[in-house]
Amino acid sequence: MPRIRRDPSREYSFIRSLFQACYDNPLFQQEEAKFNPDVEKKPRAKEYSPADVVPEIEFNEKNEATKKRKFCLIGFIICCVAAIGFLVGYLISSAQRKDTTYTNGNVPSITTHVPSFSFQSDTFNGSLLITAGPYSKYTPDFSNKDSTAFQYFSRTFLYQMNSTFAQSPYRSQYSSTIINEIRPQNGQLSGVLFTVKFTSTLNIYNWTESSLVSLLASGFRNGVMEVSPESIKITALKKNIPVISTVQPGQCFNININQCVNRTTYQQAILPNALGHTTLAEVSVSAEENQEIFENHCYGYAKDFWCSVYNPECKNGRAELPCRDYCLDVKLACENSSFPLDCNILPATNCRKNPYIPGKCLSVPTGRQYEICISLGFDKSALPNYDLEIAFPKPNMMLDLISNIQKLTQCYKHSELFGCSVFVPKCSGSEIVPYHTIPPCKSLCEEYKKNCFVFWEIFSNPWPKNLVCSSLPDVNDTTVCIGYQEAHEPPDVKDCKSNQISCDSDRCIDVSFLCDGYHDCEDHTDEANCAACSMGEYSCNPASRLCIRKSEVCNGVPDCYEEVEEAECIKLGNGSSSGVVRVYNAESDDWEEVCADDWNETLSEVTCQQVGYRGAQTTSSRVKSGKTARLDAQNVNASASTKYLQSFLRKSSTCVGGNVVYLTCGDPVCGTRPAYFPSPLRIVNGDQVKPGTWPSQVALYGGNKMRYFCGGSILNENWILTAAHCLGGKTTTGGITISVGDTRRLAYNKYRQLKTPKALYIHEDYSSDTVRNDIALIQLSSPIYFNDYARPVCLPSNISDVGLRCFAVGWGKVNVKAPDYEPVLRQVNLDIVSWQGCKHAIATSGIQSPYSLTDEMMCAGGSRGHDGCQGDSGGPLLCPEDVGSDTWTIAGVTSWGLGCAVPNVPGIYTEVYKYIDWIRNITNSELPLA
């Protein structure tokens, strides 16, 4: 049988068609497009010419030679297919090599997109241009680092930088920012050259610098300084640190995780680690994706643990993984946190043990925050402390916080002792447990917390998670705990100054309070040895020294100057807007119910208006429960005033019907001050006012010892208006007390009402960075009882006119160097300043402003010595309804300023008129306008 001659064209055509089919596969098209973008796209298979079609191959099974050729051809085809399959598999493997999934037992799979870094650095140089805000205009003083202008600029810029990094993924490694130079750019705009330092080296990827640029652009977006995003430049300074880009399993290498560099007791690590990672790239990517676990303070050694998980110590050529028990300790403490590891896969022996053992006694480092502790005898300490910190942080922010709160509020005189015993505990030196630490006593911890923790909340600082007062020992033994005697010491007996006298043994009052007609001491000793009226007489204090018969008090006939004896004669119930009508009987020093016999609606109106309300809503009767007074319209004294209900009453008389009057009044009358008596007393930088001058003013106190920190204003019996920065980050109502009817902060006052908050409402758009929308409301847990010393203020019906003379009121310091807030309420006359004029005054003051003046702010004052100061915050700027009127509106809420009483620089207030709708929406009431 003759051989069948092979036709090479047929074989080549088949192979060509086979490769053409491969080419036609979308996978190959994708690779060609991906790697050869300039190659012209070939026609699809449907466009092939007939010449390319594989000719039909015929087989003659009866011919042995043909069979051999058939088997050879089939074998050849199989080889070609195998070769093509190998090629396809190789290309697919190459395409997918960048997306590899690693799994490790029960550990969740981690999909890695392997980045590569070229070098490491801990220092970045940067520059940016400030385009708007109070610091945008360059001044020559910026070139002098000792100038006030530079100091203000630096403080604001560094605050913005620190805040930005504190809320970023770099927060654990960020160290500081240094301003190298401020120079004029693009005309007169301020350009800043700066350096950012990190505590450990960062791996510098191709995206690191651009990510820092984006971070700063976002951080400066809502700050005081407005920065052009396009102007931000960041350059990493290359650090000569050897970088191992690849390592073989079993090969030691330098720790490669930024969070662990210089944070462990070893420097060399090895792979595979506890998560099964075998390459440095896998380690870096996984650490980036789970970076929060390195910064979680749930356990004092959490960072040490995770460093030994990711970068286990290289010991004798093997990895020393953390022990299973160590893992379980961390997991138990961090049960509410992410935990990407199964402790059961870790070894029980021949492993890294939990380092939590009593530490070696160390010298406390020097530095501003530690000086007070060293002076109190805390010169040696051991770690971890009672917040489970395992190092002495620099700066120690917690000691700084405690010190600053104490300076501002004097909340607890043993604050520093508490702080040092928690964060820098003394070594015990015990032979039983060497170098152990002595904790604060339970009673010291509890005393500090109940007096000062409210201010931690206001400053947005949480209580240390690991510090639980109830778990601490409490014995009078300084080898067991610190502060027992201090926590149990009796109240101080005040050593009063030369211009003060002792009052109720625990307070001091000004000598000018003696014999002034107001009972400032609870035991009345300040009014006890004065030239007094006889037992049966009433003194017309504080208006005059006149004595009248007690029977002439509350009879409707004016006998004293300013009719003081006819004030506070009528009340409803215990002083609310509804209740049984009562009249005061000075002869018996008792309150008597008013009989319902012959009562009418006109008297209801008179009564409600007398106690401070617009009119009566309902009149009814109740069965009498005590002594009564009844109407005696037939015997009204001709000199009596018909505006007083008592003009129509005869006290201690029989009530024939047995029922007494019960009234419900309408809305309160706002803006009045019936107990105000002009005083000739003039005090530098403002007037020290008498009780009753501003009955809408309230004081905010914090902690059990009631430390004053802000002012506020009464809107109605249930609501107080104050500044948002006075409440800060506080989300709960505990620890705040509102004092109503007070003028003399440290004195006893029979008109004082102490209230607690039911809810706090900080404006939803308030920003502590810009102080915009600096306004807040406090809902009270019980209503205010209105009297002549407690009345609501009116909300403004329009914007206050420029030049209108108003009063700023508060207990703030008289100057920035004053050691404490004022004991007596002060007022200062201020004129409303135009917004543009105010903006110009701030810009030309020579003092760099920490904030920008915005549309919802208003300005007042500017005269030498006339301004609010620290402690006036939250208090009102009170303006008359009309020129010459004695009805007062709250035009502004004291917000911020440049120092105190800087000549020609106004103070800044939140403009209340622009928040009327917000106030009414929150209070759900139609509060009265002037």
Q: Name the nearest CA neighbour of 772 among 222, 398, 322, 236.
A: 222
Catalytic residue among 141, 774, 867, 872: 774
Q: Say how far apart CA 611 and CA 39 lie, in whole Å.
A: 94
> Which residue bears the tokens 């993984």?
321
Cross-strand pairs, 732: none
Cα-based distances in Å from 925 to 81, 613, 695? 84, 16, 21
User: Are β-strands 628-631 and 590-594 bridged in parallel, bridged antiparallel, or unpaired?
Assistant: parallel
Q: At what angle do helices 208-219 and 148-166 cross, to 10 degrees?
A: 120
3-state secondary structure of 28: helix
Q: Say how far apart CA 136 and CA 574 lie, in whole Å.
A: 58
Q: What angle do CA 84, 86, 91 make, to 5 degrees?
A: 95
Catalytic residue among 231, 308, 415, 873: 873
Tokens of 795: 């909300």
Rg (CA), the chain: 40
- Contact predicate 877/860, CB 8 Å: yes
Q: Say how far apart CA 833 and CA 843 lie, in whole Å.
A: 15
Q: Say how far apart CA 380 and CA 560 lie, in whole Å.
A: 69
Q: Per the omega criterion (within 30 degrees of 0), is the bond before 272 cis? A: yes
Q: Per the omega criterion (within 30 degrees of 0), is the bond before 695 cis? A: no
Tokens of 364: 């406390």
Q: Sign of torsion, CA 408 780 927 663?
A: negative
Tokens of 468: 């639980």
Cα-based distances in Å from 121 to 162, 199, 821? 19, 10, 49
Q: Say how far apart CA 721 and CA 710 lie, in whole Å.
A: 11
- Contact predicate 309/322, CB 8 Å: yes
Q: Say how far apart CA 300 and CA 330 lie, in whole Å.
A: 9
886: region left, alpha or beta (phi > 0 left; psi from -120 to 50 alpha): alpha
3-state secondary structure of 306: helix
Burial class (CB in 10 A: 0-12, 13-18, 19+), 704: middle
Question: What is the DSSP code (8-state) at residue 483?
Answer: -
- Contact predicate 790/751, CB 8 Å: yes
> Which residue bears the tokens 């306004």?
775
Tokens of 490: 């009796």
Does 840 participate in catalysis according to the annotation? no
| CB-based contacts of 189, cutoff 8 Å, min separation 6 | 129, 130, 131, 136, 137, 138
Does 725 participate in catalysis according to the annotation? yes
Q: Say how far apart CA 135 and CA 156 lie, in whole Å.
A: 9
- Contact predicate 771/798, CB 8 Å: no
Catalytic residue among 725, 800, 849, 872: 725
Q: Say how far apart CA 164 and CA 234 lie, in whole Å.
A: 15
Q: Name the nearest CA neighbour of 265 among 211, 294, 301.
A: 301
Backbone angles phi, psi at 166, to 5 degrees: -65, -25
- Contact predicate 338/325, CB 8 Å: no
Q: What angle do CA 46, 47, 52 make, to 5 degrees?
A: 95
- Contact predicate 491/506, CB 8 Å: yes
865: region left, alpha or beta (phi > 0 left; psi from -120 to 50 alpha): left
Q: Strands (DSSP E) along 770-887, which ranges? A: 776-780, 805-810, 826-833, 857-860, 876-880
Does 774 participate in catalysis according to the annotation? yes
Active site residues: 725, 774, 873
